[in-house]
Structure 1
Amino acid sequence: MKKILSAAAFILMVGCASSQKSNGSAEKDLYRSWRVTGFDTTGANHAPTITFDQAQNRVSGNGSCNRYSGGFTLTAPDKIAFSPMAATKMACPGLNVEGKYFELLNKANKWSIKDGVLTLSQDGNALLTFVAE
């Protein structure tokens, strides 16, 4: 009986451990809409947003003025690569905010979600943080 209980406990522990990502978040949590936080949006219409579409491996959002979209690939549990983004070309106040947002988004190569905050980083340096919308 002890052997059966020990085996069951071991299987349960292995199952729980394998269902967690090494970056501390489940990939499924990534697939939603996010709003940037901790980013200077002075002069912009609103904070940039990003939405991850799992079915099409696409992202879309608003850079603070213009709508954008592009592709992304998860190359490992915590690695991400974005394709070049296509964006509308409206003129708005605070376009410098949008330019900086796109620059940082293009540099991102890692992602993590902790305590409901999505962080996009480059080689361990946090670039952008988001909260779910």
Structure 2
Amino acid sequence: MKRFVLFFSITAAIALTGCRSAKATQPMDLLTGTVWELSSINGQKVDAGSNRNGLPTASFNTELKISGNGGCNTYSGSYNLNENEGINISQVMSTKMFCEGSIENEYFKELGKVNMAKIDKDKLTLMEGVDERLVFVPKK
């Protein structure tokens, strides 16, 4: 009986470990499976109330395209990732509607600087080296 319990315990442990690794979410899945809403820019928390047209958003798709709203205008571009948490965002184009009181210009400026990304299910941080430029949370 003891052998059976020991065998069952080891088998269950192996099975559970296998299930956990199969369910582990890859960074690319987290990045592409979420609409991200800006939470802070250069360490300063952004407030939806102070930005009339809403907060900037970013969506990444599996075809290496980024799109969203800069707080006034819609935009799209390209991105690529590398194995050392690197990210490059390029070829960003947006509509050109004027919106008073928008943080859009600063957002696009910082978006163009980023070269690193840290991601988990609750937070996306885009950085220039070690400096946090843009921090996003999942849009509710």
Is the 8 Å Cα contact of residues 27 and 120 (structure 2) preserved in structure 1? no
Give the superposition deviation at 1:20: 7.7
Matched residue type, 1:40: V
| TM-score, length basis structure 1 | 0.76
Is the 8 Å Cα contact of residues 87 and 116 (structure 2) preserved in structure 1? yes
Q: Aligned ranges for residues 50-89 of structure 1 at < 5 Å?
A: 50-54=58-62, 56-89=63-96
2:31 matches 1:30: yes
Which runs of 5 or more residues in structure 1 are unaligned?
none
Matched residue type, 1:51: S
Give the superposition deviation at 1:26: 2.3
2:52 and 2:115 map into 1 onto residues whose CA distance is: 26
Which runs of 5 or more residues in structure 2 are unaligned?
1-9
SS in 2 for 1:36: strand
In the alignment, what sits opposite 1:124? 130
Is the 8 Å Cα contact of residues 30 and 120 (structure 2) preserved in structure 1? no
Tell which structure's C-alpha radius of gyration is larger. Answer: 2
The verdict on how the C-alpha distance between 1:69 and 1:115 changes in structure 2, with shifts beyond 3 A counting, is closer
Same amino acid, percent of matched pairs: 31
SS in 2 for 1:102: helix
Give the superposition deviation at 1:40: 3.4
Give the superposition deviation at 1:113: 1.5
2:135 and 2:100 map into 1 onto residues whose CA distance is: 22
Q: RMSD across aligned C-alpha pairs, in angstroms?
A: 2.8
Matched residue type, 2:38: V
SS in 2 for 1:107: coil
In the alignment, what sits opposite 2:114? 108
Is the 8 Å Cα contact of residues 58 and 70 (structure 1) preserved in structure 2? yes
Is the 8 Å Cα contact of residues 84 and 106 (structure 1) preserved in structure 2? no
Q: How many correspondences in the alignment?
A: 121
